[in-house]
Structure 1
């Protein structure tokens, strides 16, 4: 059966934890509207108890979006939960996201709590939150470094207290796809109510595997993915949601999953986050980078001119990018150069290229990209040589 995957965007909360990023309330509202247009199912708009500004931002987003669920983050404390209740009061659709750490290092070094104290806190706070929200999401922070048996006990405690969504955070990007798959298989066997709730994942990218881990979870029982646009976030960032969405689209037969993402809005969404966060998207960034649909190698350019499927598994139009480009450089072949010259109005054929291409190669050896002005000058040189 095809799985319906929910997209939970935390650009406005975890994404804003990127060093140097500080969205204004107005920017958060505009981003939320764009995320809604992109098709996300839930927007984590902030951490209401953290500051007056965060509270106001969550409230503003809750008032602005019409179809997407809005959530605030809350530690497993009643004061945090109360702040979320007030901040999301006017949301058309809302949930709450409650978390507490469960791993040994967090229990001992950060919380100074025993296993039983953590379980008691989960029971008390999730029960409390369930009074105000039909959808209660619970996260055992640092889940992937938590003892498997204790993790399952904590999750079942949350479900019994009223949690309807269980999020498995790879808080420090520690796990890998194989281990994550094994963890989900373990949880399916050892959590009696596994099939009664939605399982989500929140993967960080410290080892560069956030997207891979997220996709592995989909193959093993997760039906919600949490992340950010462009992968921004704490330290090395989060799973880049645009990459997850693109992978599910391109490899739909493998993942057997569908979602509500409108891929045509992807580039615009990415550009907005890049602009407001003042973080340029790396040129080689998957899906939305400037070079994602650019080909300089002569072999690649020749293939693209013959059949785009040779080197592109998705069209730029699918994700709202402008078009494929074939920049001309020292690795370009004569086929691409001839095609470009023909588009510029020069009537040249393969025989002509025998004279043109050596001049082009000489220019390309000393220029990063050979532009149209360069090509016109090359054609002038060719005419002088022929004359």
Structure 2
């Protein structure tokens, strides 16, 4: 980079539009979408699609609901020509879908393009020529009059040749390529000249497409250009005003949205923003932005993961994991605070209420994304994410203090491995740490007796040091009685500090899960978890597992006492 970029690059001179209206416009409906994946997107690929691949992509676009699809540049590519012919000859184009093809303003190329569409029920023939100063002076070596003549002559050829194929309902689209860097008055002059030749009507409109062939300035500047054309074009009631934003400055989505606010009726773009250089505007982001505001975009991206897979397979381009709405990680939270907010939001979100889950602009389920993918755990995660995954994957509903305790266990493993821990790993770790803790006391059976004095007698059979022993105790309830029996055996007072339970399933084979927070002597509490079809048994198992965890993990003197019998 040079130290004085102003010596090499000139600031773009924006048009003067002090009474601009677009800032006050609120989008309330979707524009006409035109997918150019099979033309503009395809020409940007290292290895362009084959006819079979384009057919697969085309049919997918139809399934998504696109009604206008630019299918190729038949005069420039034999593959594209053959693809257009196959679409027509195999009757692959639904009655409510209009295909579009592109051509330059040359007589032979227009003739070849019209030939490719023979037999089509309806088609958009899209002709373009650059009009900006750099192209006039460097590429064409002509002046304004010369560039305007190219557009006019080409339009006459299109009109004459399409008239010879009356079985097709023809729609004409003209693009003053490089509109974004052209003089605005000259762009209007060329478009008006083309319109005068084609003579559209309100009942049979033509399309004037205004490409941001290269993004020249901020999106508001493009919006000003579009609004100026919207207000000044001749025969505006007979024109569908279209935009084709590119993404050179990384602001194509904003430019397209502001352009529609400024009067554009139609947007051309590609799925995932594919296209030359930095790409075309991303139709998925545009459409889903509308959806998130309560406006149905008229296209269906419910099967978002399948659409992403199709795109990656057919283009050999990866979709960024943070791509809005479609990226693998876009609904994923690793941060503990984010996870906690999402978990709480999902817990209170009702099906018939407005969506308001923190950090999630839309419900992932609307694009067929599972909630398992929303929260993922690494060393940056907290209790909310860990407990959420455990609940979703294994059905455990941890009490808050257990969430805190277990999240530290998970974080320790994640820190040591340096990797993400998935739901399977978390469930396995939880089971090993809290449920399957069979030493030194392994539960074998129990018998609880309620006495007339409202006391409970417990008889718990356990395996201890390879021997079968019976622990007997008396208390105010089953857990209190078992705690007193264990206290006598280990020589320390065991109490239940907290207790939670819930069912894991319904029916005759329902499993209960119990969470017991155990306190031994004056030491810090620990948790044990138990599962059984009998709720009392699950609680006894949880208590034993808590004591086992305490003995095994924190207090050597207790281990010695227990070992001594």
Q: If the length of structure 2 is used for normalisation, what is the TM-score?
A: 0.64
CA contact (8 A) 1:16 1:233 kept: yes
Question: Which residue matches 1:287?
Answer: 325
Matched residue pairs, number?
Answer: 383
Which 10-residue stretch deviates more, 309-318 or 149-158?
A: 309-318
Matched residue, 2:406? 356
Q: Distance in 2 between matches of 1:52 and 1:339?
A: 54
Q: Cα distance 1:146–1:243, how it changes in 2: closer, same or farther (>3 A)?
A: same
266 and 348 in structure 1: CA distance in 2 versus 1, 3 angstrom threshold: closer
Q: Residues 321 and 127 from structure 1, CA distance in 2 versus in 1: closer, same or farther, beyond 3 angstroms?
A: farther
- For residues 325-344 of structure 1, the aligned pairs below 5 Å read 325-342=374-391, 343-344=393-394
2:45–2:315 contact (8 Å) kept in structure 1:
no
More helix, by proportion = 1
> Quick one: which of 52, 57, 61 aligns to 1:31?
57
Shift of 1:364: 2.1
For residues 354 and 301 of structure 1, the distance between their equivalents in structure 2, rounded to whole angstroms, comes to 13
Instruction: Measure how far apart 1:3 and its partner are.
Output: 4.8
The correspondence for 1:168, drawn from 210, 213, 220, is 210
Residue correspondence of structure 1 range 220-299 to structure 2 within 5 A: 220-252=262-294, 259-299=297-337
- Residues 41 and 260, structure 1, Cα contact 8 Å, conserved in 2: no
TM-score calculated relative to the size of structure 1: 0.92
Q: Matched residue of 1:365: which SS?
A: helix
Q: Which runs of 5+ in 2 are unaligned?
A: 1-26, 163-168, 201-205, 347-356, 438-547, 552-565
- Specify the structure having the higher radius of gyration (Cα): 2
Aligned to 2:176: 140
In structure 2, relative to structure 1, the CA distance for the partners of 1:155 and 1:261 (3 Å cut) is same
- State whether residues 227 and 259 of structure 2, in contact with CA within 8 Å, keep that contact through their aligned partners in structure 1: no
How far 1:374 sits from its partner (Å)? 4.9
- SS of the residue 1:44 aligns to: strand
How much has 1:266 moved relative to structure 2? 4.4
Q: Given the superposition, is the C-alpha separation of residues 291 and 204 from structure 1 closer, same or farther in structure 2, using an over 3 Å criterion? A: same
- Of stretches 260-269 and 232-241 in structure 1, the one that deviates more from structure 2 is 260-269
CA distance in 2, matches of 1:355, 1:188: 62
Equivalent positions of 1:1-387 (< 5 A) are 3=29, 5-62=31-88, 63-66=91-94, 67-131=96-160, 132=162, 134-162=170-198, 164-252=206-294, 259-308=297-346, 309-323=357-371, 324-342=373-391, 343-346=393-396, 348-366=398-416, 367-371=418-422, 372-377=424-429, 379-381=431-433, 383=437, 385-387=549-551
Shift of 1:354: 4.5
**Inter-partner Cα distance in structure 2 for 1:172 and 1:202:** 10
Q: Which runs of 5 or more residues in structure 1 are unaligned?
A: none
Would the alpha carbon gap of residues 11 and 269 (structure 1) be closer, same or farther in structure 2, given more than 3 Å must change? Answer: same
Cα distance in 1 for residues equivalent to 2:281 and 2:105: 24
C-alpha offsets along residues 367-386 of structure 1, whole Å, 9 cap, x if unaligned? 32112235523553455643
Cα distance change of structure 1 residues 213 and 325 upon mapping to structure 2, 3 Å threshold: same
CA distance in 2, matches of 1:159, 1:152: 10
SS at match of 2:103: strand
Q: Which moved more, 1:359-368 or 1:93-102?
A: 359-368
Deviates more, 1:67-76 or 1:85-94: 85-94
Q: RMSD across aligned C-alpha pairs, in angstroms?
A: 2.2
**1:37–1:180 CA distance, 2 compared to 1 (3 A):** same
Q: Could you say if the C-alpha distance between residues 18 and 114 of structure 1 is closer, same or farther in structure 2, counting changes exceeding 3 Å? A: same
Task: Please report how far the alpha carbon of residue 4 of structure 1 lies from its aligned counterpart in structure 2 after TM superposition.
Answer: 5.1
Q: Relative contact order (alpha carbons < 8 A, sep ≥ 6): 1 or 2 greater?
A: 1
